[in-house]
Amino acid sequence: MRRLRVLAFAAAAACSAAAAAQGEHERRLAAELVVMAGDLRRLQSDAETPQHREGLHARLAGALSSLPLMLRRAGAEASAVSALRAALEKRDWRALRAGLDALKKRHPFEAGALLPREATPERLRLGAAIHRQACAGCHEAPATDTPLPAFNLFEQAKRTPREEFAARLLIGVRGDRGTAWRNPFSDLELGALLAYYRNGKTDGAAGK
């Protein structure tokens, strides 16, 4: 009897761990779709230099090649992706936009649930500390004459819709392929970074 109960507990724990893993795959997929749509918007805009457009194009191509795996991991099917790839190849932005929008509708990104809105002093301090230790080296005063530059994250937070910036943070530190693979930060830390970037360096102690 007791054994059974233990077994039932273990089974329930395994199930909820599987459900959590599934939820994380779904969330990453949803965030990736938001980032791809954002990259497409930047690609189409007149504001980007030809060099940056080239970088965005390459990044979209890369994202589309990992999209089937992300879809399958999230329990979805991946048949729509080949049409998206064809659209990118032909630079048929309307078709690519429509395809991404359809996927986004099926896999909505819940930024609000992920990232708290309130910028408490603790959150700002934590965000400042992480930024100083792990991000400032590349993201403050970056060189922008490369295809995919590391932008100043305070400026990017200002010019990017809130949901999209949250998705970009969740998808992670994209400095190189090694770090892009997995985001090592917890939701709490991501929330702190988001609050910090949205609110600027209001904490005088933050420094550089």
Residues that bind ligand HEC (CB under 6 A): 35, 59, 130, 134-135, 137-139, 148, 150, 153, 168-169, 173-175, 193
In terms of CB distance, is 83 or 136 closer to ligand HEC?
Answer: 136
In terms of CB distance, is 33 or 153 closer to ligand HEC?
Answer: 153
In terms of CB distance, is 179 or 202 closer to ligand HEC?
Answer: 179
Smallest distance, ligand HEC to C-beta of residue 106, A = 22
17: tokens are: 């761990």
Taking the alpha carbons of 75, 76, 79, 80 in that order, is the dihedral positive or negative?
negative
Smallest distance, ligand HEC to C-beta of residue 55, A = 8
Nearest to 207 by CA among 132, 120, 122, 126: 132
Smallest distance, ligand HEC to C-beta of residue 85, A = 19
In terms of CB distance, is 99 or 160 closer to ligand HEC?
Answer: 160
Contact 99, 21 (CB under 8 A): no
Q: In whole angstroms, what is the distance from residue 93 CA to residue 89 CA?
A: 10
In terms of CB distance, is 42 or 97 closer to ligand HEC?
Answer: 42
Q: List CB contacts of 189: < 8 A, sequence separation 6 or more.
A: 126, 130
Smallest distance, ligand HEC to C-beta of residue 24, A = 18
Contact 100, 29 (CB under 8 A): no
Residue 103 zone, left/alpha/beta (φ > 0; ψ -120 to 50; rest) = alpha
- 118 Cα distance to chain centroid: 20
In terms of CB distance, is 48 or 92 closer to ligand HEC?
Answer: 48
